[in-house]
Amino acid sequence: MDQNKIGMFISEKRKELNITQEELAELMNVSKNAVSKWERGLNLPDASLMKNLCKILNISLNEFFNGEENNLELSELTKIFEKKNEKIIAVDHVTYKFEPGKLYAIMGHSGSGKSTLLNILGTLDKQTTGEYKINGKETIKLNDNELNYIRRKNVGFIFQNYLLDPNLRSYENVMLPMFVNNEIKKDERKTRALKLLEYVNLENRFNHYPKELSGGEQQRVAIARSLANNPQLIIADEPTGNLDEKNEKIIFEIFRKLANDGKLVIVVSHSDNIVKYADVVLYMKNGRLGVYNEG
Amino acid sequence: MKGNSIYEISYKHLKEKRNIIFSIIIVLLIIVLYITSTIINFALQYQNNINKKSLNARTLIVERGSKTDEELNQISNINHVVLNVSDKYRAQFPVSAEEFDEKDIKGNIVFNPLLINNGIKIINGRTIESDYEILIPEEFYPHVDFNDYGEEVIYLDKIIKGKDLIGKSIKVYSEREHPVKSINQSWSEYDELYNKWIETRTPISLTIVGTYDSSVNLLEKNTCFMSLKMFDNVKSDINGGTASCTQDNICTEEWFKYVDRMIVVDEYKNLDYVKNELNNMNFSYYPVLNFDMGTFKMLVSIPMCVGLIISIISITLIRNFIAKKLYNKRKEIGLLKTLGFDNNQIINIYSKENNIILSTCFIIGFIIYMIIVKTIKYYIYVAAELEYYSMNIEIPFIYILLLIALLLLLSNYILKKKIIKYLSYNVSDLIGDSL
């Protein structure tokens, strides 16, 4: 827990709501000095005060402890592709708020805009119009380096064709994202990679190359890799598209486990089996997003 | 992989099959490029020797014909002529040097007169100051031997360091009193004369005072130098002879003396001028060394063209390989972007891979090239021309380093340009199949 980061987050959210330190202190029934100390990172609020503080600042406990907002917010998001003389509206005025600790399934026919939406959510692509905020930051205003940072710290990707490096062993593939994360010490990287493989039940295959693994195993390595930098958001685009039912079940169970552990997991899938595991099932048709099943 | 540096990713990519195939091709091209460069280097060195150092290259023999001594002496007045002497001084004085006899090989050396402008480079000791002093090669091989096929052979382990012989003496005998068998003389009469000469001849002791670099003047390693006067004393004036017999078995013989002139020009580049002047004075002449610079340059241009073609092929191959490789790796580039690698890190990973491959190819190519050149030089030395062995025909390593640096810079430029192009695409396009 980074007290400084939490302190800065409290200060930022307070200022967004146009509340002074004195006003916040009054609402919390504490001294102004106490609020000042929180914001300077010298102290953390007492456990009994945290819930109330989060309510006032309109943040979740999870976000409080991470020191940043932890959600994805879409507002009238639109993506238009222009090809020759044709305009294709892939995503059409989508407005939605994703929350952490949930597994979202996005379903729909081919060409409905699911993958495009997913690419925008993962900052692999930019919207044409509309707003997309990740942890409170508008992505359209971010430059390439800032987007790189977001991908590094906040997003884990899982692709249909796994995209493992064939020249690296399983644990080395999992270590890959850690090379650009200075917060993970160099001598801890291998250990961490092995732990992540254990999380996806592949501890016995840590030394194998991708060509020596089955499709399901490769996808599990890809999942472990996506967790390397402990991101809050996991995005999976047709992760079981190339797998059989048995392996599909294993993968979906892992996603369920991740959501239970507080991650925000978004899965695009053609498979109906995802419905059993998802908290929220969304449906895309002609670029529009609808809620099929929530809660 | 230990997880310490992004370059570990580069090292892991080295063992890809396409990298290995590419490396083999580049090594072969590099070896060919090195060899053509060596041929050019050798040719340029040879040309340089001809131009600046070789005495023979700038020597003409002017035939007396019907010219008198006075007319021949006029040649000295031609600009750039530095020596006008009897062609006797172009001959050599062979000597059986008993001092260098070994159980299975005889000592044999030859003497040249030390003329001005020989271009001799003294390595150890000093030059000749009296008539009883001589110079020997720094790498001295005082033998002439032949194998069963009649080919001249050189035993490398019998080359002597000339400086170790400074101060020592060699005995020679003048060939002026050497009996010459007349056609009308019987062999027993001749043998009697010869044996009498052996008994009564007086040896001349010559002291070694210095050594010279024989490769500079393209001379053989058993060629020594004595003073002009001593050469005149020991070398016979007879150049050769003919004999003819009639049907009645009456035989006559004729002995020829050295009557022509040896003309030495100051520099190779002035040779044509002197030839022109000799033509104007109605002299007949011929060069000692038949060296046609025009043909030589034409021949040198062949390896130059080959080298140029190989260079173009190498650069094109590198460029195409990089382009194809990066096209095939575009998904990998996209993946690295999704994982949060920035553009510089991605460029550095592939640059490192590229640099390791090319540097290794150059070094392996250089090692193989050195083995090939040393082997060729050895066989050239053993088979024929002694002096070529000591010539440094290998390309200096500094040029190799410059070539490596240049090609690495070029290939990195091509690589960076291609990667930047891919990095400008949407990440979703890179990892998808739309490209």
Cβ–Cβ under 8 Å, residues B263 and B81: yes
Phi, psi of B231 (to 5 degrees): -60, -40
Handedness of CA B412, B328, A158, B1 (dihedral sign): negative
Choosing from A40, A66, A92, the residue where a domain stops is A66
Contacts of B12 in chain A (CB under 8 A): 165, 167-168, 172
CA–CA separation, B417 and B350 (whole Å): 12
A252 in the same domain as A220? yes
A97 in the same domain as A41? no
A59 in the same domain as A95? no
Cβ–Cβ under 8 Å, residues B169 and B206: yes
Confidence of residue A43 (pLDDT cuts 50, 70, 90): confident
Q: What are the structural domain ranges in chain B?
A: 7-49+294-431, 126-257
* Residue A130 scores a pLDDT above 70: yes
B6 CB within 8 Å of a chain A CB: yes
CA torsion angle A150 A151 A153 A158 (round to 10): 150
- Cross-chain Cβ contact B340/A176 below 8 Å: no
Task: Copy the structure tokens of residue A191.
Answer: 């250990």
Confidence of residue A214 (pLDDT cuts 50, 70, 90): very high
A35 in the same domain as A158? no
Report DSSP letters for A50-88, one per residue. HHHHHHHHT--HHHHHHTS---EEEEEEEEEEEETTEEE
A122 in the same domain as A58? no
Burial zone of A36 (CB within 10 Å; 0-12 exposed, 13-18 middle, 19+ buried): middle
How many structural domains comprise chain A?
2
Phi, psi of A217 (to 5 degrees): -65, -40
CA–CA separation, B60 and B271 (whole Å): 9
Residue B316: half-sphere exposure toward Cβ, Cα within 13 Å: 6
* Residue A20, domain CATH: 1.10.260.40
- Cross-chain Cβ contact A151/B431 below 8 Å: no
Contacts of B4 in chain A (CB under 8 A): 186
Identify the CA nearest to B73 among candidates B236, B283, B286, B256. B283
In Å, how far from its chain's centre is CA B96? 28
> Which has the higher per-residue pLDDT, B295 or A122?
A122
**Angle at Cα B255 formed by Cα B253 and Cα B256, nearest 5°?**
145
Task: Copy the structure tokens of residue B23.
Answer: 């490396």
Identify the CA nearest to A233 among candidates A102, A49, A128. A102
CA–CA separation, B182 and A58 (whole Å): 131
A257 in the same domain as A241? yes
CA–CA separation, A126 and B381 (whole Å): 72
Cβ–Cβ under 8 Å, residues A165 and B333: no
Domain ranges, residue A10: 3-66
- Cross-chain Cβ contact B6/A167 below 8 Å: no
> What percentage of chain A has pLDDT greater than the value 70?
96
B17 CB within 8 Å of a chain A CB: no
Phi, psi of A108 (to 5 degrees): 155, 165
Note the pLDDT of residue B37.
81
DSSP H or E segment with residue A49: helix A47-57
A172 CB within 8 Å of a chain B CB: yes
Strand B169-172, strand B204-212: pairing: antiparallel
Give start and end residues of each alpha helix (H) in B255-396. 271-280, 293-328, 330-338, 343-383, 386-390
Choosing from A66, A93, A114, the residue where a domain stops is A66
CA distance to partner chain B, nearest, from residue A245 (Å) = 25
A232 in the same domain as A268? yes
- Cross-chain Cβ contact A180/B345 below 8 Å: yes
Contacts of B149 (CB under 8 A, 6+ apart): none
Residue pairs spanning A and B at CB distance below 8 A: 81
* Residue A265, domain CATH: 3.40.50.300
Handedness of CA B66, B72, B74, B78 (dihedral sign): positive
- Cross-chain Cβ contact B3/A153 below 8 Å: no
Tell me which amino acid residue A113 is: G
CA distance to partner chain A, nearest, from residue B419 (Å) = 16
Note the pLDDT of residue A20.
92
Contacts of A115 in chain B (CB under 8 A): 428
A146 in the same domain as A33? no
Q: Which of A151, A153, A189 sits opposite B338 (nearest CB)?
A: A151
CA–CA separation, B343 and A144 (whole Å): 9
A131 in the same domain as A202? yes
A88 in the same domain as A48? no
Q: Which of A115, A152, A186 sits opposite B3 (nearest CB)?
A: A186
Choosing from A49, A66, A83, the residue where a domain stops is A66
CA torsion angle A56 A62 A68 A70 (round to 10): -100
CA distance to partner chain A, nearest, from residue B435 (Å) = 15
> Which has the higher per-residue pLDDT, B407 or A255?
A255
- Cross-chain Cβ contact B3/A189 below 8 Å: yes
Task: Tell me the longest C-alpha to C-alpha distance in chain A.
Answer: 64
Q: How confident is the model over A32-56, as a mean pLDDT?
A: 86
CA–CA separation, B177 and B186 (whole Å): 19
Cβ–Cβ under 8 Å, residues A199 and A224: yes
Mean pLDDT in each 10-residue stretch from start to end of chain B (435 residues)? Answer: 80 86 86 82 73 75 90 92 89 86 81 78 89 92 76 75 92 83 79 86 92 73 90 86 76 80 88 93 87 73 84 85 87 89 89 89 88 77 52 70 83 89 84 67
DSSP H or E segment with residue A217: helix A215-226
**Angle at Cα A20 formed by Cα A16 and Cα A23, nearest 5°?**
120
Identify the CA nearest to A75 among candidates A155, A138, A135, A19. A138
A224 in the same domain as A112? yes
Note the pLDDT of residue B389.
46
Contacts of A165 in chain B (CB under 8 A): 9, 12, 332, 335
CA distance to partner chain A, nearest, from residue B422 (Å) = 14
Give start and end residues of each alpha helix (H) in B203-270. 228-234
- Cross-chain Cβ contact A124/B6 below 8 Å: no
Task: Copy the structure tokens of residue A27.
Answer: 């609402």
